Amino acid sequence: MELGLSERELRFIQAALALLQHSDLPVDGIAGDQTTEAIRQFQVMHRGGWINKIKPTGIPDENTVSAILHDLGDWNKNRNWVHPG
């Protein structure tokens, strides 16, 4: 499935979803069935949440990417990351 993303963008989304969903989603830059399903599952989990414009399509639209970035920010805040150096 063509998602309209560069390989780099797709790898970022795959890595974020693997982290947020505690899944073994491959971070390979390929928009296969696993990636589409992981995006769809994320969208289903966030429907009716802080952003009501997410529809479970399996395509990472602007609202979905915003929700991923929001969740990554929350994940980071709750992990007490310390930057080396």
> Which residues are CB-contacts of 58 (< 8 A; sequence separation ≥ 6)?
1, 36, 37, 39, 40, 43
Residue 81 has pLDDT above 60, yes or no: no
Q: How far apart are CA 65 and CA 79, in angstroms?
A: 21
Q: Please report, in angstroms and rounded to a whole number, the separation of the first and last CA atoms in the chain.
A: 41
51, 63 Cβ separation under 8 angstroms? yes
For residue range 34-77, list pLDDT tens digits in order.
999 999 999 998 876 656 678 899 999 998 999 999 999 887 77
Q: How far apart are CA 72 and CA 4, in angstroms?
A: 22
40, 21 Cβ separation under 8 angstroms? no
* pLDDT for position 50: 57
